[in-house]
Structure 1
Amino acid sequence: MSTLFSIRTLFILIIIAVIAVIAFFILPVSVPIIIALITALFLEPLVRLLQARAKLKRNLSVFIVFLLFLTSIGIIGYFLTTKVITEGINLVENAPSYINEVNRVWRDFQSDMNNASEDLPPEFVTEISLQVDKFLYDLRIYLTDLFNIQNVKNIFTNIPNYLVSFLVYLIALFLFLIDMPRLKAGLYSHLKEETAAKVKFMSSRLSYVIFGFFKAQFLVSVIIFFTSLIGLLFIAPEVALLMSFIIWLIDFIPIIGSIVILGPWAIFHFITGDIGLGTQLSILAIVLLVIRRTVEPKVMGSHIGLSPLATLIAMYLGLKLLGILGFIVGPLLLIAFNSAREAGIIKMNFKI
């Protein structure tokens, strides 16, 4: 008999709901292990490829892939760290000149305001001055709180925790790579032959689609990176590479994205009187925002097998329900549901 949800499907949905509730409480403290598992799933094809092509044992293949992964992280981390430190030192050295420039512009602005307000009502001029002073005071308090010694102290205090989490991540990644076949065999041993076949189909389909999902994210991020790099090479070539990388990272934040970097940067140049540079940065910010909001759903849809509309809806609902994490979790849940439906685990054959 065709029904909307069979008893078996309802049982599976209940199990998924229970797992989701448990995961809600476990996920925050299991991030390094979860990331290690995801990384292991991505590196698993490389391990199998090395086994097949070089005729190596799995343990040796895992060791080589893991070593290459560590080397890549080390090289990227070294160059990024040295570049950030160099640019940070330059920023600190030039900070007094930036402050003096802002003070000069503010004095000129006050002088122009006094000259232009001679024919204006005194109450209006007073209110404008009060609002500007209040804004500058709030900005100073915010910057003071942001860069106070306590925040810097907290960052350095948490460095051991970050190192421990990173060490746990690396160990878990290596162990996941070693035990991946055993973990899969243990999972399938608890399933019936028919169910195991469906789960294998679903996992292979899910792996393919998830790989396509992150591949799509990477392709979009590459477009964002090179667009920002080309733009900044004309606008601010001395910091083009560093700022392009920072924009590339920040742009993963939904809705906000590169505006967080380019917005304040443009406002600073508007305040200091460099209207041309501020306008160029504003245009670049708009271009990057348009690229992400238009290209992303299409690229994601083509690589994960979802229509641009379904991808956009999944991203939006995930963002509203789960925050920034939901921007990625939303499409992944939709992918998992479609994969389970294609595998026959979830059946929805009904007509109204």
Structure 2
Amino acid sequence: MDHLGVKRVLRGLGVLLASAGVLLALYVLLPLLYPLLLAWLLAYVMHPLVVILRGFRLPAWLAVLLSLLFYLGGTALVLTALITRLVKELIVLLQTFDLHTDQWRELLLSWSRNASIQNIINQINQFYHDNPDYHATIDSNISRTTQSVGHAVTQVVTGFFNFILNLISALPSMGTVLIVVVLAAFFLSTGWERHNARLSGLLPAPLLKSVAGVWTDLRRASFGYLRAQLILIFITAVLVISGLLLLGVKSAFAIGLMVGFVDLLPYLGVGIVMLPWALYSYMTGDLALGVGLSVLYAVILITRQVLEPKVLASSIGLDPLAMLIGMFAGLQLFGMLGLILGPVLLVVLAAFRRAGVFRALHGYIVSGRLR
């Protein structure tokens, strides 16, 4: 390899090491600095309202304080209203489940008294009688299976309660983080131009231009991605609520919201709620509800599969095929979380490409000059 090729290889290795160092620094520092990042995002979102209020000749601290009260108070008000409505409908839903308990017990008893089931039980008993040697083996296998199922159920229940306990125990620290975020956002907003100018002064002009381009692209894509997910959740929730109202189902609002958010889960999605519900309706003889839920599930599934790549692509500015490939690759690499990480990483890479970062790095590796 000639001297020029060696230099290019060394510069390429330097770029890789620098990239690894940046990723390692982010991994180490992000748990320590995320409250400041959240505060900066909050200040960034509030800044347009602060500018409008400053136009009425209000002091900076008062404009920022009113903006904080507007955003935090409005968010708390909306969440309180939604949670209150959701809790009310969940209570009605739980009462409905209690009313169906006797019906489920009778269904199980009638199913066990069925002639076919009784015939199977008699055949099993006859098999035990004719083959006494298999009795202990089958009983031990059944016992082990029962223990495994019981252990799995216990783990699920224990994990759920541990999650609740951890959430409750984390409330004080969450409150502390919230206070830090609000105070930091207040101070950042009161000196927004000064802080941004100081931060910009730390970066060289070429790098500052690239960072500004990447940030502009990421900001547009991030808000587009959130908007796309909210649109998909809204469409699913509206379809479910409308369908359940047409079917005369109570607590349609709570069920629709729940199914809308559950639809974010890959593979499972609305099927984790709709399919067991439709199956139960068929088993209880409510064929109209079973057919209606089946049709509603098919409509939601087709709508989601058709709209998701298009909505994501139009909101983020990427080709639908690229978004589909990104989602599939993320799913294969990171599991269920990859359906979110895949498009996000694709958006970040596209932002770097549009800002000319890859072109600049390629030029540095080839010529040794960073343009």
TM superposition score category, shorter chain reference: 0.7 to 0.9
CA contact (8 A) 1:40 1:173 kept: no
CA contact (8 A) 2:330 2:342 kept: yes
Q: Deviations over 1:158-178 (max 9, x none)?
A: 324135325513531552364
Q: Which secondary structure does the structure 2 equivalent of 1:218 belong to?
A: helix
RCO comparison, higher one (Cα < 8 Å, 6+) = 1
CA contact (8 A) 2:309 2:321 kept: yes
Q: Which moved more, 1:131-140 or 1:337-346?
A: 131-140
Cα 1:337/1:153, change in 2 over 3 Å: closer
Q: Which secondary structure does the structure 1 equivalent of 2:265 belong to?
A: coil
Query: Deviation of residue 69 (structure 1)?
Result: 1.8
Aligned to 2:70: 68
1:180-219 superposed matches below 5 A:
181-219=193-231
RMSD: 4.1
Aligned to 1:162: 171
2:348 to 331, 336, 350: 336
Query: What is the distance in 2 between the residues matched to 1:126 and 1:118?
Result: 12
- Structure 2 gaps, min length 5: 129-138, 366-371
Query: Deviation of residue 298 (structure 1)?
Result: 0.8
Letter in 2 for 1:168: V
Cα 1:290/1:64, change in 2 over 3 Å: farther
Letter in 1 for 2:320: P
TM value normalised by structure 2 = 0.74
In the alignment, structure 1 residue 220 sits paired with structure 2 residue 232: yes
Query: Deviation of residue 239 (structure 1)?
Result: 0.7
In the alignment, structure 1 residue 122 sits paired with structure 2 residue 134: no
Query: Deviation of residue 294 (structure 1)?
Result: 1.9
Cα 1:10/1:214, change in 2 over 3 Å: farther
Letter in 1 for 2:180: I
Aligned to 1:294: 306
Query: What is the distance in 1 between the residues matched to 2:103 and 2:145?
Result: 18
Letter in 2 for 1:228: V
CA contact (8 A) 1:105 1:272 kept: yes
Number of aligned residues: 343
Aligned to 1:20: 23
Query: Deviation of residue 102 (structure 1)?
Result: 1.2
Cα 1:153/1:200, change in 2 over 3 Å: closer
Query: What is the distance in 2 between the residues matched to 1:174 and 1:62?
Result: 11
Letter in 2 for 1:254: P
In the alignment, structure 1 residue 172 sits paired with structure 2 residue 175: no
Cα 1:109/1:314, change in 2 over 3 Å: same
1:285-324 superposed matches below 5 A:
285-324=297-336
Q: Deviations over 1:196-236 (max 9, x none)?
A: 12222221222122222222222222222211221121134
CA contact (8 A) 2:330 2:339 kept: yes
CA contact (8 A) 1:266 1:281 kept: yes
Q: Which secondary structure does the structure 2 equivalent of 1:252 belong to?
A: coil
Q: Which secondary structure does the structure 1 equivalent of 2:170 belong to?
A: helix
Letter in 1 for 2:213: F
Letter in 2 for 1:305: G
Letter in 1 for 2:342: G
Q: Which moved more, 1:264-273 or 1:310-319?
A: 264-273
Cα 1:92/1:307, change in 2 over 3 Å: closer
Aligned to 2:280: 268
Letter in 1 for 2:22: I
TM value normalised by structure 1 = 0.78
Query: Deviation of residue 126 (structure 1)?
Result: 8.3
CA contact (8 A) 1:318 1:326 kept: yes
